[in-house]
Amino acid sequence: MPKIFEGFKNFILRGNALELAVGVVIGAAFNTMIQAIVKDLLTPFIAAIARVPDFSRLSFTINGSKFMYGDFINATISFFLVAVAVYFFVIVPMNALMSKTAKKGQAKPVFKKCPECLSDIPFEAKRCSHCSQIVEK
């Protein structure tokens, strides 16, 4: 194999490049999923409540210039709905999962620092064994 391809192979097979490639692919799939939630579930729900399914035709004209403020309203609603979807369908479940796993894995601390001499002392100790300083919990 030529030397130039050897360097390219080493570059591609480094961890960072592979992790980035996987992240981009997963990000694209995640974007498709969130857009589908917004387009197929949340936007029709808002349209059913507001009784206006599409704001894109809303506009006004001044001196022959057409201002399509309806497109801006659609983009704003879409942005808001994407943020809501990400928060409630990704962030909230992940926070719940992380808090459950953190509680199981957390152990009570074994040592604490003495405020006077900064030595490690047992967590339940009331007095430092090195400097005899009284230590509060």
What pLDDT digit, counting tens, does each position of 71-88 carry? 888 788 888 888 888 888
Task: Give the number of domains in the chain.
Answer: 2
28 and 55 both lie in a single domain: yes
93 and 127 both lie in a single domain: no
CATH number of the domain enclosing 82 = 1.10.1200.120
82 and 123 both lie in a single domain: no
Distance of alpha carbon 59 from alpha carbon 66, whole angstroms? 7
- Is there a contact between 43 and 77 (Cβ–Cβ < 8 Å)? yes
58: containing domain: 3-106
89 and 133 both lie in a single domain: no
Tokens of 119: 């030595």
Q: How confident is the model at residue 60 (pLDDT cuts 50, 70, 90)?
A: very high
Report the pLDDT value the prediction gives residue 57, as an integer from 0 to 100: 79
Mean pLDDT score across all residues of the chain: 81
64: phi > 0 → left, psi -120 to 50 → alpha, else beta; which?
left
Question: CB neighbours (10 Å) of residue 86?
Answer: 15
